[in-house]
């Protein structure tokens, strides 16, 4: 029987990933664990006697995740092509002048900032967040199914925090 994973939790982890954080899923329990580059560096130190009690737990968890075959890294920030998602959103806009403007804004340096400014100027930010959340949901479902996990679709798509 496949392990059941909360789609809400999984997508949430995918959306908050940074270059310094890595999330793993326990193949036996479905538990999601995030470790940072600092956690990894701390766990690799020979001398850990100066570690605080709470750091010791992080060190042990990090070592366990990195040394066990029971953990699988979920898609990272580098595995998800946010630019391609933005481009698909731009192309999905039915009003050609808005679509063209958005496509023009996502070229070159500073594209993400210009895109964000433009969606707010047109008042379509809620459409963008819904589109982005659906794209992440599709990526998550594909990844989970491809890795033998079942999921519960407990995702309420509505991000308004950006």
Contacts of 43 (CB under 8 A, 6+ apart): 58, 59, 62, 63, 66
Confirm if 157 and 140 have CB atoms less than 8 A apart. no
Domain assignments of the chain as residue spans, ordered by start: 18-75, 76-162
Run of H or E including 90: helix 82-92
Looking at mean pLDDT, say which of 23-27, 35-39, 157-161 comes out highest. 23-27
pLDDT at 155 over 50: yes
Print burial letters for 89-109: b (CB count within 10 Å at least 16), e (below 16).
Answer: bbeebeeeebeeebeebbeee
45-72 pLDDT, tens digit each: 766 556 566 778 888 888 999 999 999 9
Q: What is the C-alpha separation between 31 and 5, in angstroms, rounded? A: 8
pLDDT at 129 over 90: yes
User: Is pLDDT larger for residue 12 or for residue 43?
Assistant: 12
Q: Look up the pTM and report it.
A: 0.83
Instruction: Determine the pLDDT at residue 118.
Output: 97
Strand ranges inside the chain, DSSP E: 4-6, 21-26, 32-36, 71-73, 150-152
């Amino acid at each position: 029987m496949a392990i059941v994973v909360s789609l809400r939790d999984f997508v949430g982890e995918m959306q908050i990933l940074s270059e310094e954080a890595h999330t793993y899923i326990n193949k036996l329990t479905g538990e999601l664990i995030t470790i940072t580059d600092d956690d990894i560096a701390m766990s690799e130190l020979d001398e850990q006697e100066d570690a605080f009690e709470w750091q010791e737990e992080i060190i042990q968890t990090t070592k366990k995740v990195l040394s066990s075959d029971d953990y699988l890294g979920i898609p990272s920030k580098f595995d998800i092509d946010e630019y391609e998602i933005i481009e698909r959103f731009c192309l999905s806009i039915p009003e050609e002048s808005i679509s063209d403007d958005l496509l023009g804004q996502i070229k070159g340096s500073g594209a993400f900032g210009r895109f964000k400014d433009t969606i707010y100027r047109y008042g379509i930010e809620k459409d963008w967040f819904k589109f982005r959340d659906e794209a992440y949901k599709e990526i998550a479902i594909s990844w989970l199914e491809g890795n033998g996990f079942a999921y519960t679709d407990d995702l309420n798509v509505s991000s308004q925090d950006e």
